[in-house]
Amino acid sequence: MRYPLGLFLDSAIHLVGRKLRGERKFALTLTLDPLGGCTDGPVVAPASSQQVFNQPEGRDSACPWQAGRQDASATNDKLALSVDQCLAAVEVCEAPVVFISGGEPLEYPEIAALTRVILKLRKHLFLCTDGALIRRHLHMIPPFTNFFWNVKLDGTAEVHDIRARRAGLFEAALDGVKAAKNAGFFVVATSTVYPDTDVQDLESLYERLHAMHVDGYLLSPHYPKEKLCREGSARFHEKMQQRFQEASERLSAYNLMSSPVYLEYLRGERELDCSVWANPVYGPKGWSGPCYLQNAKYAKSYRELLRETVWENYGRGLNPRCENCLCPEAFETAAILGMNAKAGDWWRKLAWQFGGNLGEKREAKRQA
């Protein structure tokens, strides 16, 4: 089983039900950003010279950890979402899967209460974190089967600390992962893949995480915020395709939770249409439209986001700011929805789901 059976069935029932009702646009997942780290841009605490490293310009397509930790003392409490606002978004969106992200969600004062209520609503919840605060928050909930710690890890110690611009973060994150696994939680690791990512280093990371019984691994492509010329964009995509070709070869023995159709897209083997409307982001300023990577506008309601956003104006080949976007929020959802489908895609995705194994490395496939 690639994902827990309950998550797979609930998502499938939700998807089929919406399609049978003739709905053209609906959410598969909802991202809650209570501190505004995705939708408003995170507030970063002043760092000492020993903590700051050089980092390539750009933005992770996994916004929870972009640009460092939220500084709670510098954050205006009035800008943070209340628990009631978050729950209202969960109710109106009706997505079976919820992500809590933005800056460092464990610094949100009401994170324990919010987490418990979402789980009581029988949603599948991924709490995205840099991992350093996991140990001190393990008491906030029991290890539900529909709850996942989603820990950001971009490589082994030196690589990860440089990317995160925080010395010692890697070891703190691994301590959190170990504590969560010992307590019986599901733990997923998300790694951002850059044009210069050393996939062999990622493999070394996965070997270490596998020994700690981490349950699965997500790959998220880097999004360069600067506008690239045509040649620069072509080079960017060429390098990214090379990295994902290497990742598919070297990491396939692990429980990769990125779908095979999405990985084909990342390797440059097929096209997918942007379906970011299927993963809305809700933060202190409202519903981020068209997506948190652009924040072109904010809708006051989910209905307004769906109806008043001209979705046809966004996507690769349609908007310059979308040209270098490969993010899972847009294209993994497209793969799940069956956009740009090819013969046999659904059977491949079923085989992929039931052929995976949470936390177990498939030695037979590695030796093949």
Quote the pLDDT of residue 3.
95
pLDDT tens per residue across all 368 residues of the chain: 899 999 999 999 999 999 999 999 999 999 999 999 886 653 333 233 233 333 334 446 555 444 344 444 334 445 899 999 999 999 999 999 999 998 899 999 999 999 999 999 999 999 999 999 999 999 988 888 899 999 999 999 999 999 999 999 999 999 999 999 999 999 999 999 999 999 999 999 999 999 999 999 999 999 987 888 889 899 999 999 999 999 999 999 999 999 999 999 999 999 999 999 999 999 999 999 898 888 778 999 999 999 999 998 888 888 888 999 999 999 999 999 998 989 899 999 999 999 988 877 655 444 43
Domains assigned to the chain? 5-367 (3.80.30.10)
Gap between the terminal Cα atoms of the chain: 20
Quote the pLDDT of residue 63.
57
Model pTM? 0.89
Quote the pLDDT of residue 353.
93
Taking the C-alpha atoms of residue 258 and residue 6, their distance in angstroms, rounded to an integer, is: 18
Quote the pLDDT of residue 281.
96
Quote the pLDDT of residue 60.
61
Quote the pLDDT of residue 142.
87
Quote the pLDDT of residue 74.
39
Quote the pLDDT of residue 102.
86
> SS3 for the chain, per residue?
CCCCHHHHHHHHHHHHHHHHCCCCCCCCEEEECCCCCCCCCCCECCCCCCCCCCCCCCEECCHHHCCCCECHHHCCHHHCCCHHHHHHHHHHHCCCEEEECCCCHHHCCCHHHHHHHHHHCCCEEEEEECCCCHHHHHHHCCCCCCEEEEEECCCCHHHHHHHHCCCCHHHHHHHHHHHHHHCCCEEEEEEEECCCCCHHHHHHHHHHHHHCCCCEEEEEEEECCCCCCHHHHHHHHHHHHHHHHHHHHHCCCCCECCCHHHHHHHCCCCCCCCCHHHCCEEECCEEEECCCCCCCEEECCHHHHHHHCCHHHCCCCCCHHHCCCCCHHHHHHHHHHCCCCCCCHHHHHHHHHHHCCCCCCCHHHHHC
